[in-house]
Amino acid sequence: MRVCTTEKIPIKMWLEDIEEGAMGQLRNLANLPFAFKHIAVMPDSHLGYGMPIGGVLATKGMIIPNAVGVDIGCGMCVMRTSLESLEREKLKKILGEIKAAVPVGFNHHKDRQDDACMPGRSFPKGVVCEREYRSAIFQVGTLGGGNHFIEVQKGSDGALWIMVHSGSRNLGKQVADHYNRIAIRLNAKWHSPVPPEHQLAYLPEESEEGRAYIEEMNYCVEFAFKNRKLMMERIGECFLRHTGCSFEPLINIAHNYARKEHHFGEDVWVHRKGATSAKKGEVGIIPGSQGASSYLVRGKGNPESFESCSHGAGRKMGRKQAERTLDLKEEIRKMDEQGILHGIRSAHELDEAPGAYKDIAEVIKHQSDLVDIWVELSPLGVVKG
């Protein structure tokens, strides 16, 4: 851990270097009048909107929509199977069926899904979740795009695992944008000391708008879980058509949310934007790129990180930069040599190539005081958003 002490409160960083833009955002966070104790920066951190991805911010009495982000509740699910191996051709067939069962990218289900797949119709105080319910019920059980994925993996425990990374689809974005606009308007009315160009407009937790955001945010976190859960059920059905396997209960974690927690003797709002809760003994999921290992970990409950760890490997270059600079043949060769069934076919898909991401082994090493490795997972086949 490195500590920067030039701002109002310290910035504690579990990485050796960070891009200039992200460091500027961290300084803005550290000078917020309601920021608590220190800022924690995970080893996968990189530039975001207002707050870096991989950042952990604790606040007193205030909540910041941009410190949660637009994909509220985005996170991971894993499920252990009873399989120890799978023939390559059978895995190809299963991956093909998964692609047919789970819409990816901007695609939604053609048919309305069952209401039981949703968090429920007891809507929170705000207006967005109720308004968007009719669209969201066609989106539940869909992967989305960007860095979202479905992966079949071989575990260091000898078992095959299934992993899903996805979020709250358009519902979370609508909630985030709605309350960020409200926060911007109110902050201007209050003559907030936080400059608008910092993109850190805030809402008091006890205000009508703050309470509404918290309730709708929590609904989105639950929707994101329901989304991953339904995908896992459909993926399990694809496996059962080709194998006689069984499944252990799924493990779910979110890495984009704010939650009231007790730290350093006070109740504070912990904003994790691309960061995972790592209480003592708590299971975390830290994925690598589609050409590298992922890790199941157990938290050590380190108070200096507000009991948090990284949410993945983290990008080392932007999407456009990856498309411009990475060598398509080389990225394909690296995964083909490992025998990974992947979907990289053109330069347009280089934004999610392994070369666009940090070395996951280094990321894990930098947080050895935050988590212990439980299971290492090696990719066998990938479906990307």
pLDDT digit string, tens, across residues 54-109 = 999 999 999 999 999 999 999 999 999 999 999 999 999 999 999 999 999 999 99
Angle between helix axes 169-189 and 128-139 (nearest 10 degrees) is 160
Tokens at residue 60, please?
Answer: 């007193």
Strands (E), 156-307: 160-166, 203-204, 251-254, 256-263, 266-273, 275-277, 283-286, 294-299
311 counts as catalytic:
yes
At residue 385 the predicted structure's pLDDT band, cuts being 50, 70 and 90, is confident
Among 3.30.420.60, 3.90.1860.10, 3.40.50.2020, 3.40.220.10, name the CATH number for the domain at 2-316+357-384: 3.90.1860.10
Q: Report the distance separating Cα 6 and Cα 9, nearest Å.
A: 8
Residue 271 pairs with which residues in a beta bridge? 57, 258
- Residue 339 DSSP one-character state: T
User: Domain locations in the chain?
Assistant: 2-316+357-384
Q: What is the pLDDT of residue 82?
A: 98
Helix (H) or strand (E) holding 375: strand 371-384
Cα→Cα distances 119→136, 274, 301, Å? 11, 23, 30
Residues 99-155 pLDDT 10s:
999 999 999 999 999 999 999 888 888 899 999 999 999 999 999 999 999 999 999
List b or e across 11-28, with b for residues whose CB sees 16 or more CB atoms inside 10 angstroms: bbbbbeebbeebbebbeb
For helices 208-240 and 169-189, the axis angle rounded to 10 degrees is 170
- Other beta carbons within 10 angstroms of residue 125's beta carbon come to 13
Q: Give the CA distances from residue 153 to residues 64, 84, 148, 277, in Å, rounded to whole numbers and listed in that order.
A: 36, 10, 16, 23
Taking only the tens place, the pLDDT of each residue in 160-171 is 999 999 999 999
Q: Give the span between the Cα atoms of 324 and 209, in whole angstroms.
A: 43
Of residues 165, 198, 311, 366, which has the active-site annotation? 311
Q: Structure tokens of 96? A: 């093909």
Give the 3-state secondary structure of 41-95.
Answer: EEEEEECCCCCCEEEEEEECCEECHHHCCCCCCCEEEEEEECCCCCCHHHHHHHH
pLDDT value of residue 22: 96
Comparing 200-209, 214-223, 292-301, 331-340, the range with the smallest average pLDDT is 331-340
